[in-house]
Amino acid sequence: MPNDYLLTVISNIGMISLIALSAYLLLISGEISFGQQAYFGISAYAGAIATTLWGWPLWLALLFGSSLAALAAGFVGLLTLRISGLYFSIATLAFAEMVRLSLFKLTYQIEIDGELIGPNGAEGFGEIRWIFDNDVSVLEYTLLIYGILLLVLFFLVLIERSRLGMIFRMLGQDPLLTRVQGLNPVRYKVTAAILAGFIAGLGGTLYAHSFTYIEPQIFNMMLGVHALAYGLIGGLGTVLGPLIGVAIDIGFLESVRVIQGYRMVVFGGLVALMLIFMPRGIFDEKRVYWLKSIARRWFRA
């Protein structure tokens, strides 16, 4: 059904937006993580296990998967406190690959209705049947995804306007100067890592239940690099930046027929060109500030 296909694309945009937002949160606080897919994957497995094998309700599974992801992210954040720049990027990449490879070893199956169900190494983890068992339609599930995305956006806007958000942006510009303003970077770097892990985790559990089948290979580094690229394309000046990046890639590039089969060539080239001409994306801090002041003037008139 074309309608269902469209809905799948739309819900895909929603879920990928979550991992893009997670990478964005780290980007604005000055760290480039190549490893957000790890938290997406951890939560996808954990959340799916919780509903499918333990019979938990979805909301609890979401909370569980994302908390586990946040915990892992906080742990990595603590371990990598001393390093930054490309050392940080490569360390997060190494961690994410470790997670992905470990998932190949993860076998945990339980017999349900005469069938062995659960993650089974390279075979993956199928029959994540929560949607069917609860008679949730594609439309309803898409609405759920967007509900959660909106909550996350709301929370991120709140953060952007808060002291915490300002501290993240300070860290992103000059960690030493931030320290000399009386702020301890350690605390905020780990906070950013945990929040980012949690947001990626929300996307992960949602993803597992939407596709009903997951395998380790999905959570490879190309997912992480895409997540990163979305923020860099859309812009680092506003939380809408990563969403714009996702929409450009999945919404636009995917639907243009001419570039079918050359999508990566176009996308890769786009990212490379953006980094040359607009290193902080379309809606970077300057343009957002400018747009805001225009809006303010227009509002007053």
153 counts as binding other proteins under rule CB under 8 A:
no
- HSE on the CB side for 247, CA within 13 Å? 7
Among residues 123, 147, 263, 295, which is the contact residue for other proteins, using CB under 8 A?
Answer: 263
Among residues 150, 161, 217, 252, which is the contact residue for other proteins, using CB under 8 A?
Answer: 161
DSSP state for residue 117 in the 8-state scheme: E
Residue nearer to other proteins on the CB measure, 97 or 203: 97
Give how many residues touch other proteins by CB under 8 A: 66
Judged by CB under 8 A, the chain residues 220 through 239 that form the site for other proteins are 222, 225, 228-229, 232
7 counts as binding other proteins under rule CB under 8 A:
no
Residue nearer to other proteins on the CB measure, 139 or 177: 177
Residues 6+ apart with CB under 8 A from 88: 31, 32, 33, 80
53 vs 62: CA distance, rounded Å: 14
Helix, strand, or coil (residue 221):
helix
252 counts as binding other proteins under rule CB under 8 A:
no
116 counts as binding other proteins under rule CB under 8 A:
no
157 counts as binding other proteins under rule CB under 8 A:
no
Compute the least distance from the CB of residue 268 to other proteins, in Å.
Answer: 4
Residue nearer to other proteins on the CB measure, 65 or 97: 97
Among residues 139, 264, 294, 295, which is the contact residue for other proteins, using CB under 8 A?
Answer: 264
Judged by CB under 8 A, the chain residues 19 through 78 that form the site for other proteins are 32, 34
The per-residue b/e assignment along 20-31, b for 16 or more CB within 10 angstroms, e otherwise, is bbbbbbbbbbbb
Residues 6+ apart with CB under 8 A from 145: 11, 14, 15, 206, 210
293 counts as binding other proteins under rule CB under 8 A:
yes
66 vs 194: CA distance, rounded Å: 10
180 counts as binding other proteins under rule CB under 8 A:
yes
100 vs 39: CA distance, rounded Å: 10
Among residues 158, 291, 294, 295, which is the contact residue for other proteins, using CB under 8 A?
Answer: 158
Ramachandran category for residue 56: left, alpha or beta (phi over 0 → left; psi -120 to 50 → alpha)? beta
Residue nearer to other proteins on the CB measure, 55 or 85: 85
Stretch that binds other proteins, among 53-61, 107-115, 163-171, 201-209 (CB under 8 A): 163-171
Q: List the end-to-end C-alpha distance of the chain, in Å, as a whole number.
A: 48
Compute the least distance from the CB of residue 289 to other proteins, in Å.
Answer: 7
| Residue 17 burial (CB count, 10 A) | 27
Torsion angle of the four alpha carbons 169, 175, 176, 177, in this order, in degrees rounded to the nearest 10? 0
Stretch that binds other proteins, among 58-66, 144-152, 180-188, 245-253 (CB under 8 A): 180-188
Helix (H) or strand (E) holding 111: strand 110-112
89 counts as binding other proteins under rule CB under 8 A:
yes
Six-digit token string for 131: 């949607």
- Site residues for other proteins per CB under 8 A: 32, 34, 79-80, 82-83, 85-87, 89-91, 94-95, 97-98, 101-102, 104-105, 158-159, 161-167, 169-170, 173-174, 176-177, 179-185, 187, 222, 225, 228-229, 232, 261-265, 267-272, 275-276, 279, 285-286, 289, 293
